[in-house]
Structure 1
Amino acid sequence: MEYSYSFKIVHSTNHLPSDWDALATSNIFLSKAYLTVLELSKPTNMNCFFIAMYKKDKLIGIALAQFLDLNKLESFGERDKCIKTVVRNFIFKNFCSHVLFVGNNMLTGQNAFSFSTEIEISTGIALLHQAELEIKLSLKKQGKKVHLTSYKDFDKKELEVFPEKEFDSFYQFSTQPNMVFTVSKDWHSFDDYIAALSKKYRDQYKRCRKKATGIEKRKLNFEEIVALEQTIYNLYHHVAQNAPFNTFFLTKNHFAVMKSELKENFLFYGYFENNKLIGFNTLIKNGNQMDTYFLGYDEKVQREKMLYLNMLYDMIAYSINKGFKEVIFARTALEIKSSVGAKPEEMVGYIKHSNSLINSKMDTLFCYLEPVTEWQERNPFKD
């Protein structure tokens, strides 16, 4: 690599280069405001590293890396009680508990880096790989040996520009797809979306809305989020604990910090029954796409009122009515997201174990690290 390229690893957003945001314009998740959220309310088992890349003295790339210590987790997820889960948890605890992600483990999609036009992407990724090695060295000096290194959530085309020399020892993996809802050019309002549904799925929509009678939806401001912080956390934590697998849990103040830093780009919707908060969902405006974020609900109410499906329709309605082009629904609950019109997009990445013997068996090990989800794709639209 040319000697004129260099990088700097920054540990606080206060020390980011003044022109950092100039390279984050196309992705809010690399902006200083969002990285400040991470700094102030990141999961307790996570450390963040902000990477500034230079050509001579000019900033030409920005990136994010996260170190997770899975030994600090209360649980990996409590839904699946089977022998495979027991084996997976044993493997994680003993061989994979220290993980370095180049990217953002809390999100789905390419939120790892952004480069200016003054550097080839493959050269930028090679420079990022050097930064990754330096982060691992600094963690080792603190007595934290990284077991797994992962570059996560790229589409196949993006992976083609990764330099072969740096990544030939990595295992290329495919994860659960990212569920993406594309707004048709023919839809100018939510009513147009409903009209495009086939009879079966229009009936599903009507039934779902009928079930939600008595539920009031309200957009909450910063003060209201703070006032309801404990209830919000309990609802989130219930959903998170019942996920098949977790690598982190949010902190109690996370949503308040999100609102404080991202302001009108972060939307928090509370669902109330008899003035009691029984569920919530969150959205993040990211250019012309809407990213769904974390949610929570009371399981009993969710079943009775089809609350989760109602939330999906509400997110779609807001996004269409406000002119967004896509809704990023991320992973989990693939089939129900498919039933409202989201399509799966394959996500790939690279992963490597520090132990060369274990690394040579990564294809077998990965089956335990990333449990396969069986699901059936739906098409809710008229042919």
Structure 2
Amino acid sequence: MKWLTVNCTEELPKQWDQLAGENIFLKRRFLQHLETVNPCQQTYNMLLETDQLKAAYVDYRLKPDIFTYSIFTLKIPVTIMGIPCSVAKEGFSVCSGYEKFVLAHFQAKKGAKLILNSALGLPAKGGNTLPSCKMEVLWSSFNQYLESLRSPYRYRIKKAKKKWQDVKVDYIKPHAFDRDYYQLYEEVYLNSHAKLEKLNFEFFQQQPLPSIIIIATHKEQKLGFAQVVDNGRELIFLFIGFSHKLNSTFDIYLNLLLEIIDFAIDNRFKTIDLGQTAEETKLKLGSELFTKGMYISHSNFLLDKLANQYINLFSYQIPIYDFRVFKMGETDENFTS
């Protein structure tokens, strides 16, 4: 076995995409896009055994707040194994039985290291990053979806929809994305509690993935947008932007999530990945939580020991939710909110 590290996607073999499988963000086309619009010292690491690719991962350099999910604040340079654009997918793919080699290779790098969004349990002590919210699409129409909800949750959606009745919703391709909508993305980013990197305008406008941007306007006023990606049977909610000042007037955030669900139903997707953050709102729409692992290490023995001993300080503490969103064969008269 041998490891090969390169600094450019043009040097990656076709086997890389084959190993990436259904992770559209780990494929060469998207990674090449990120090299252009979000350069952050990316490297691409491959484990080869008799010329067969057994493991692959992306890492990049960033200076995040390592206490994002706690009351403390500390920004230090970190090498991150992940997709360099804050998506809820893993930055690695590995054949079964080779996980320990990926972990060992990454942990051998100098300085502080962080593995984000791992859906796969790695052979190390880990914590949690933000969970992902996913929804199965079980309905043939949006009205059928509404009727499947228990009355308190249906009432909340209908209340939001009343605020949305004079709003115009359109679908545009990435090349039509403009600076006004980008400013709404920046507004959301600035108000976010879990910041990593801020993406530039070209990330959206030059998006190479099969993407649609849902836009909402009211009397020429741009209210917000939601970008979604077609990943075969799965619709992925990527990024959002909206006016915080007008959010309560139009219930923009909730209504854009509902537009995503409506779009998924109309286009017969099987699942929706609603991403991370705002999990309470998304759970009340009927999604489920999927935990994502986080692993921390450091080349300094003492710092590595301390980081792993107190990993809960870095880890996201997932609240306990108990929402019964769907009827499950019951009648509305049986429901209590």
Normalising by structure 2, report the TM-score.
0.87
For the pair 1:153 / 2:117, whether they are aligned, the reply is: yes
For the Cα contact (< 8 Å) 2:174–2:213, is it kept in 1?
no
User: Which residue pairs with 1:175 in the alignment?
Assistant: 129
For the Cα contact (< 8 Å) 1:6–1:56, is it kept in 2?
no
Q: Which residue of 108, 116, 130 corresponds with 2:88?
A: 108
For the pair 1:257 / 2:206, whether they are aligned, the reply is: yes
Normalising by structure 1, report the TM-score.
0.77
For the Cα contact (< 8 Å) 1:178–1:330, is it kept in 2?
yes
For the Cα contact (< 8 Å) 2:26–2:83, is it kept in 1?
no
User: Which residue pairs with 2:332 in the alignment?
Assistant: none
Counterpart residue identity of residue 154, structure 2 = R
Residues 325, 307 of structure 1: CA spacing in aligned structure 2 closer, same or farther, 3 A cutoff? same
Q: Which residue of 291, 297, 309 corresponds with 1:346?
A: 291
Matches of 2:220 and 2:231, distance apart in 1: 31
Give, in angstroms, the shift of residue 12 of structure 1. Answer: 1.4
Q: Which residue of 196, 204, 220 corresponds with 1:247?
A: 196
Matches of 2:202 and 2:237, distance apart in 1: 19
SS in 2 for 1:121: coil
User: Which residue pairs with 1:58 in the alignment?
Assistant: 52
Give, in angstroms, the shift of residue 363 of structure 1. Answer: 5.6
For the Cα contact (< 8 Å) 1:335–1:375, is it kept in 2?
no
Matches of 2:83 and 2:197, distance apart in 1: 12
5+ long unaligned stretches in structure 2: 329-337
Matches of 2:36 and 2:262, distance apart in 1: 32
Aligned length, in residue pairs: 327
User: Which residue pairs with 2:331 in the alignment?
Assistant: none
Give, in angstroms, the shift of residue 295 of structure 1. Answer: 0.5
Residues 19, 368 of structure 1: CA spacing in aligned structure 2 closer, same or farther, 3 A cutoff? closer
User: Which residue pairs with 1:189 in the alignment?
Assistant: 141
Q: Which residue of 145, 152, 168 corresponds with 1:216?
A: 168
SS in 1 for 2:324: coil
Residues 351, 47 of structure 1: CA spacing in aligned structure 2 closer, same or farther, 3 A cutoff? same
Matches of 1:100 and 1:315, distance apart in 2: 33
Give, in angstroms, the shift of residue 253 of structure 1. Answer: 1.5
Alignment of 1:112-151 (within 5 A): 112-115=91-94, 120-123=95-98, 125-129=99-103, 131-132=105-106, 136=109, 146-147=111-112, 149-151=113-115
Give, in angstroms, the shift of residue 354 of structure 1. Answer: 3.3
For the pair 1:205 / 2:157, whether they are aligned, the reply is: yes
Give, in angstroms, the shift of residue 13 of structure 1. Answer: 1.7
Deviation string, structure 1 residues 340-359 (Cα, Å, up to 9, x no partner): 00111222232223333333
For the Cα contact (< 8 Å) 2:174–2:212, is it kept in 1?
no
For the pair 1:11 / 2:3, whether they are aligned, the reply is: no
For the pair 1:21 / 2:9, whether they are aligned, the reply is: no
Answer 1 or 2: which has greater helix percent.
Answer: 1
Matches of 2:18 and 2:317, distance apart in 1: 39
Residues 215, 249 of structure 1: CA spacing in aligned structure 2 closer, same or farther, 3 A cutoff? same
User: Which residue pairs with 2:181 in the alignment?
Assistant: 232
> In percent, how many aligned pairs have the same letter?
23
Counterpart residue identity of residue 297, structure 1 = F
CA RMSD of superposed structures (Å)? 2.7
Give, in angstroms, the shift of residue 375 of structure 1. Answer: 6.5
Matches of 2:182 and 2:36, distance apart in 1: 16
Alignment of 1:209-358 (within 5 A): 209-225=161-177, 228=178, 230-258=179-207, 261-262=208-209, 265-358=210-303
Counterpart residue identity of residue 154, structure 1 = S
Deviation string, structure 1 residues 193-250 (Cα, Å, up to 9, x no partner): 112011222222221111012211111224321xx1x222211111111111312111
